[in-house]
Amino acid sequence: MLFSCSPNLDKTDSVYCVIKQYKIERPIISHSSEPPPPPPPPILFYGDYNFILMDTSKVFYHTRHFYYSCMNGIDPYDQKPPLLNLSPGDLREIGINQLPRFLTAINDSVTNDREFFASISSPTDTIKNRAFKIIRDFLKSRKLNRYIIRNWTEEEEYVTTAKIKNLHYDPKTVDWKVGFDTKFTPPTDTVGEK
């Protein structure tokens, strides 16, 4: 979730954004006659396009995600990302200068879909990568307001690190700290590129 964002006013033309940690406190159970408040909406971690913005210029993306048709069985106060079974081969690097052309080449049938959703993630709370402004401007120009700005997931962290450092990646050997949402089983498996 975006906490705050403002353009840097110096000559570097960088954009700085601070990503807010998404944490919702459980409501205190009351014994009054008032009905409890509705649970918060579920977090969608992954979308049709998932951009990972590294340092100040590296941009990776992947298109693996789940189609969520319903959210039965999910605890809205303890949400974790689903396991995508990402591999380093699923990540594609985009040169910062090629990013505008890449974005405009996304098929209109994909972005015109009312279910279109994108995610922009970063390993740090502050995004200094100028790709952020390029992606955000593209989404605004297409009137696409369904996107999230978040810290990268553990799976994206390990896969991206393996890709950048050319390391062997085996998810079975990773000591996952946060883990994955195992309560929700989507009607279809993860979805690859369209």
Residue-wise pLDDT tens digits, 31-68: 777 777 776 666 778 999 999 999 888 999 999 876 55
Residue 137 and residue 130: Cα distance in Å, rounded? 11
Half-sphere exposure of 86 (CA within 13 A, CB side): 29
For residue 23, what pLDDT is reported? 57
For residue 182, what pLDDT is reported? 66
Angle at 108 between CA 53 and CA 141, to 5 degrees: 60
Query: Tokens standing for 175?
Result: 């000591």
The mean pLDDT value for 60-89 works out to 75
**Pair type for strands 2-7 and 15-19:** antiparallel
pTM (global) more than 0.85: no
Cα–Cα distances in Å, from 99 out to 11, 54, 59? 21, 14, 9
Q: Do 149 and 120 meet the contact criterion of CB atoms below 8 Å apart? A: yes
Q: Decide if pLDDT at 192 tops 60.
A: no
Residue-wise pLDDT tens digits, 19-34: 766 555 666 666 777 7
